[in-house]
Amino acid sequence: MTNATLEQLPPEVLHRIFDYCDDQTILLSIRGVCRQLRDVSSTYNRFELKYNLNKNWNYHALFHFLSPTCITSLIIDNTNYQNKSNLIPLSAMNILLTQFTQLRSLEFIDVQDSIIENIVSMISSGSLNALSIYGVKRHTNPQIISVAAKFNLQKFAVSSLKLSEIIVTSWPTNWRLTHLEIDVCHMYQYLSIVEQMPNLRTLVMKDCIVDVDLQMKVNVSSQQLKSLTITNCCAHLHELDLLLSTTPSLTHLELIFNEYVYDRALDGQRLEGILSTKVPLLQGFTLFFAYRYALNSRARLVGVKSLIAPFLTSFWLEEKHWHIACDHAFQTRMIRIYTTPIKRQYKIKSFSQQQREKIIDLFHFDQLEDILQYMPSRERQLYVRMQEKRLDDTSRVFSERRMRLITDSVRCKISSEDYICRLSQISFDASITKEALTTVDLSDSCIDDQSTQDLAAALEHDNTLLSLNLLRNRIGDAGAECLANALKSNTTLNTINLSSNRITDVGAQHLAKCLEHNTSLIILNLDHNIGPSCIAVETVLAMRTETTSTTLNMANACIGDVGVEILAKALRSNTTIITLNLSNNNIGDIGAEHLSSVLKQNTTLKAIDLSENLIEYAGARCLLDCLKYNTTLTALELHHNKSEYGLLAETVIKIRHDKTLTAINLSSNWFNTEDAQIIAVALCGNQILVSLKMSNTQIGCVGVQHLMEVLQRIPTFTKLDVSKSQIGNGGMQVLEHYLRDQMTLTTLNISNNDINDDGIKALAEALRVNKTLTQLDISSNQVTSNGAKYLTDSLKHNSTLTKLNISNNKIGTEGAQYFADVLETTNQLTELNVSNNQIENNGTKRLCNALQHNTSLTLLDLSSNTISLQGTRTLAAILKQNTTLTELHLRNSQVQNKGAEYLADALKSNTTLVTLNLQLNQIDDEGAKHFAGILGDNKVVIQFDFS
């Protein structure tokens, strides 16, 4: 028999094969193959005839080949029939209906009650044992039961029959129903059914409403019912527990839950407890549970991995061998839990465009009332009907974008078989499922952080997806973290669009971190997110792919400290970027610290622009410290930051690499001793520096020592300004040593350094032997007459110093006399400033008298001292004879109108004085008149202040 041909098979076997073929195949195909198959098909008496009004069949011709007595199953289908005035043209069948004497099954699809009653009345009652009525949108007339009472039915199915207590208790006595399909019933009706139908083995119902008043009063138990199917279950698990407690003998259970009722997932652990205790004999179990979650819901969305976890116990996998799957449709926000293989599909391809539009509206309702979970069963049914009615009553403007969201539904699916998440794409009519996806578009899908966790779980194991579009969603930092963790193990995805989401700097850091592990990602779009550092993540990825670029320009990007941190990590291993522009990026001290840590290791970067940022002292200090280790950086710009300390770092770089640098100005910065050492180190090797100005700093005496150790070896160095730098007497000790040996320094400014007479004594000792210094400024210190004595004594042995500023000290009249002696005996000083030194009349007079013998002094500043009328007369007398003095400053010296007269008279004969400063004295208009007559003839500039 194993090698037998089709013709050799016995008729009984062929008839069994025919049971799986439709009548057209048997009569029009198989019957014409050969005589033997024609004879066998002629004896076949289990034909199923489908009378479809959409097809123009010639039934008279059919019955020419086929006797009505061979038909055991008749289906009358009126679905989508357009001729509403004549729904069923029975004239063609009226005669034949009475001949269906062997008819066992009769099924109506979308046929009106009056037509059903007419047809049923024509069928003989001999053999019919199954009657099914499907597809009627309104409730079926209970009178149908009375009409069908003549049959000895074993199966009765009616999808829209509204049961009543009278009907349930008044089934035809000749019915021995083993299979019953009904609409929604109440719990008491269900109990009546299982109690009064002792032969019932299979029950299918749309739903069972568990009444509150009956929940604690159920004592009925059916031992005969073996199979129960609920096609639109709206019950909560505690209600289902009560329902199943009445049927302990069930071996098959199918639960299809209504997706509009629930706003959270099914409790798998509790379901296991119900099934194991209430229906212990259960062998076959089919489950389909779906719910849509609301946007901005207060309830936390549970990921598919957590949802499937309760179904991984030994009860499901080992004892029952039931495999459960869970999937998450992102665009429709639907989560489904079901047994595999899935039994329910969304087959709506025959819907019109208007119907699809209304379905979309259902797919996108944003929230279910929180009260649903506590709503009694009866009210839940009303709510469900209201939602389903929207398919017919809702009218909204059709949206192509919203249509697309459902047309290609992208899902994350996980099964208890392997516990691995996978991506799939299901078409609108569920006819096509793609699993090996290469491109997924989830833009404008309202995906938030909670939804992203399932997407990330699928990406973690995906090995086919190349491009993922998440444009304009609601993904924040938590979602970005989920994606980042998935990308650490994903090796195929190369393009992700995350623009226009809600990712801040925190999320950007997570994404940047994953790039340290992921090597496949090429394009990451983070435009229009919240975090300014997102652009840094994009840049890091671009740096990795563009391996030949030497310039990175991120000016005006506002990436901030976090962005710099992300960028800095990438620069650690980068070997191509030479020039980096980070100007105007809101970078502060933390960002500067990240860059400095990179510069300690990076040997490629040569130029960095950090101007116009927010870097303060601490950040500039970090950058300066890193220069101890970095020797390749040749340009660093730090101007227009919050601290001018960055100027030091700029200068250090410039000193190192600018071999033409001759002057350095680092004044007005809070540089300390360590900074001075850094500058000194940078100056090593410089042989052309001429001038160094570091006034108003905190370098102290040790800082001066660091500088002088290097400056003494520069042959061109001539000018040093360390005024107001806290060097004190200790600094003078250092300078004394170098002034003795330094044979190039010509100008020294040590003013405002808290130097007293001891420091001046050390300076004086150096001046005795120094042969190069020509200008010395020791103003604003603590010099008294003793210091003046040390200084003037040394000047008698010094022949090079020509300009001396000792203003704002306390040398007094006695000190003035010491300087008068020097002026009388030497002629090297050309400028002497002794202003504000508490010099009184005698001292002034002594200095004036010294001018009679001095022929070198061209500038004398006696401002802010006391010059009486007698002193003014003496000074005027000297001016008549002096031929070298060109500038005389008497500002704020108490000169009165009479003294002005003396000075004016002296200027009539003096031809060398160019500048006379008489500001802030006691001279008014009367005194000024004395100078009026001489201004035309004399070229002297006289400065008055009459305010």
Assign 126 to helix, strand or coil.
coil
Domain count, the chain: 1
Q: Is the dihedral of CA 675, 678, 683, 684 positive or negative?
A: positive
Whether residue 5 is contained in a domain is answered as: no
Mean pLDDT throughout 629-643? 91
For residue 20, pLDDT over 80 is answered with yes
Whether residue 317 is contained in a domain is answered as: no
**Lowest-pLDDT choice from 303-317, 669-683, 746-760, 802-816:** 669-683
Kindly report the three-state secondary structure assignment for every residue of 319-353.
HCCCCEEEEEECCCCEEEEEECCCCCCCCCCCCCH
Give 837's contacts (C-beta < 8 A, 6+ positions apart): 806, 807, 808, 809, 810, 811, 812, 815, 816, 865
- The confidence score (pLDDT) of residue 39 equals 83
**Measuring CA to CA, how many Å separate 546 from each of 298, 516, 639?**
45, 16, 30
Mean pLDDT throughout 616-620? 92
Query: How do strand 691-693 and strand 607-609 relate by DSSP bridges?
Result: unpaired
For residue 138, pLDDT over 70 is answered with no
For residue 1, pLDDT over 60 is answered with no
pLDDT digits (tens, 9 = 90+) for 45-76: 888 888 776 666 566 666 677 777 888 888 88
d(CA 419, CA 423): 13
- The confidence score (pLDDT) of residue 732 equals 94
pLDDT digits (tens, 9 = 90+) for 495-523: 999 999 999 999 999 999 999 999 999 99
CB atoms within 10 A of CB 939: 9
Q: Which long-range contacts (CB under 8 A, 24 or more apart) does 514-518 make?
A: 514/483, 514/484, 514/485, 514/487, 514/488, 515/487, 515/540, 515/541, 515/544, 515/570, 516/569, 517/487, 517/488, 518/487, 518/488, 518/490, 518/491
d(CA 63, CA 42): 12
Q: Are 429 and 406 in contact (CB under 8 A)?
A: no
Of the ranges 327-331, 642-646, 782-786, 940-944, the best mean pLDDT one:
782-786
Mean pLDDT throughout 313-329? 93
- The confidence score (pLDDT) of residue 356 equals 39
Of the ranges 153-157, 479-483, 938-942, the best mean pLDDT one:
479-483
For residue 921, pLDDT over 70 is answered with yes
- The confidence score (pLDDT) of residue 366 equals 37
Give 397's contacts (C-beta < 8 A, 6+ positions apart): none
Helix axes 757-769, 728-741, angle to 10 degrees: 0
**Lowest-pLDDT choice from 45-59, 84-98, 610-624, 878-892:** 84-98
- The confidence score (pLDDT) of residue 481 equals 97
Whether residue 468 is contained in a domain is answered as: yes
d(CA 388, CA 390): 5
Residue of 629, 759, 636 lying closest to 704 (CA atoms): 759
d(CA 440, CA 595): 38
CATH number at residue 495: 3.80.10.10
- The confidence score (pLDDT) of residue 85 equals 43
- The confidence score (pLDDT) of residue 365 equals 36
For residue 142, pLDDT over 80 is answered with no
Mean pLDDT throughout 122-144? 75
- The confidence score (pLDDT) of residue 355 equals 41
- The confidence score (pLDDT) of residue 928 equals 87
Give 444's contacts (C-beta < 8 A, 6+ positions apart): 401, 405, 471, 472, 473
d(CA 782, CA 758): 10
d(CA 506, CA 493): 23
Q: What is the dihedral of CA 620, 625, 626, 628, to 10 degrees?
A: 140
Helix axes 785-795, 757-769, angle to 10 degrees: 0
Query: Would you place residue 644 in the very low, low, confident or very high pLDDT band (cuts 50, 70, 90)?
Result: confident
Query: Would you place residue 124 in the very low, low, confident or very high pLDDT band (cuts 50, 70, 90)?
Result: confident
Query: Would you place residue 126 in the very low, low, confident or very high pLDDT band (cuts 50, 70, 90)?
Result: confident
Mean pLDDT of the chain: 84
Q: Are 749 and 695 in contact (CB under 8 A)?
A: yes
Token pair in block for residue 586: 């809101």
d(CA 264, CA 243): 21
Phi, psi dihedrals of residue 252, rounded to the nearest 5°: -140, 130
- The confidence score (pLDDT) of residue 252 equals 96
Mean pLDDT throughout 695-712? 94
- The confidence score (pLDDT) of residue 636 equals 93
- The confidence score (pLDDT) of residue 297 equals 66
Query: Would you place residue 935 in the very low, low, confident or very high pLDDT band (cuts 50, 70, 90)?
Result: low
- The confidence score (pLDDT) of residue 86 equals 42
For residue 593, pLDDT over 70 is answered with yes
Token pair in block for residue 98: 């009475």
Higher pLDDT, 739 or 122: 739
For residue 349, pLDDT over 60 is answered with no
Whether residue 900 is contained in a domain is answered as: no
CB atoms within 10 A of CB 229: 17
pLDDT digits (tens, 9 = 90+) for 360-414: 333 333 334 344 444 455 455 555 555 554 444 333 333 333 334 444 689 999 9
pLDDT digits (tens, 9 = 90+) for 821-867: 999 999 999 999 999 999 988 898 899 889 988 999 999 999 999 88
Whether residue 584 is contained in a domain is answered as: no
- The confidence score (pLDDT) of residue 645 equals 83
Q: Are 184 and 210 in contact (CB under 8 A)?
A: no
- The confidence score (pLDDT) of residue 136 equals 60
Distance of CA 393 to the CA centre of its chain: 42
For residue 543, pLDDT over 60 is answered with yes
Cis peptide before 198 (omega within 30 of 0): no
Whether residue 526 is contained in a domain is answered as: yes
Mean pLDDT throughout 218-223? 73
CB atoms within 10 A of CB 279: 20
Query: How do strand 284-292 and strand 227-233 relate by DSSP bridges?
Result: unpaired
**What proportion of the chain, given as a percentage, has pLDDT over 90?**
50
Q: Is the dihedral of CA 525, 529, 532, 534 positive or negative?
A: negative
Helix ranges, 279-329 (H): 304-308, 314
Higher pLDDT, 859 or 937: 859
Give 699's contacts (C-beta < 8 A, 6+ positions apart): 671, 672, 673, 675, 676, 706, 707, 722, 725, 726, 727
Query: Would you place residue 658 in the very low, low, confident or very high pLDDT band (cuts 50, 70, 90)?
Result: confident
For residue 612, pLDDT over 90 is answered with yes
Mean pLDDT throughout 652-667? 86
Phi, psi dihedrals of residue 672, rounded to the nearest 5°: -115, -170
Q: Is the pTM of this model over 0.85?
A: no
Share in percent of the chain as helix, strand, coil (round to 5): 40, 15, 45
- The confidence score (pLDDT) of residue 860 equals 96
Whether residue 446 is contained in a domain is answered as: yes
d(CA 363, CA 874): 108
Mean pLDDT throughout 679-701? 91
- The confidence score (pLDDT) of residue 695 equals 94
Q: Are 52 and 77 in contact (CB under 8 A)?
A: yes
Query: How do strand 887-889 and strand 915-917 relate by DSSP bridges?
Result: parallel
For residue 431, pLDDT over 80 is answered with no
Q: Which amino acid is at 680?
A: A
Whether residue 406 is contained in a domain is answered as: no
d(CA 334, CA 486): 22
d(CA 740, CA 708): 12
d(CA 98, CA 119): 9
- The confidence score (pLDDT) of residue 448 equals 93
Phi, psi dihedrals of residue 670, rounded to the nearest 5°: -85, 60
Give 685's contacts (C-beta < 8 A, 6+ positions apart): none
Q: Are 326 and 308 in contact (CB under 8 A)?
A: yes
Q: Could you tell me the residue range of the domain that residue 508 belongs to?
A: 438-530
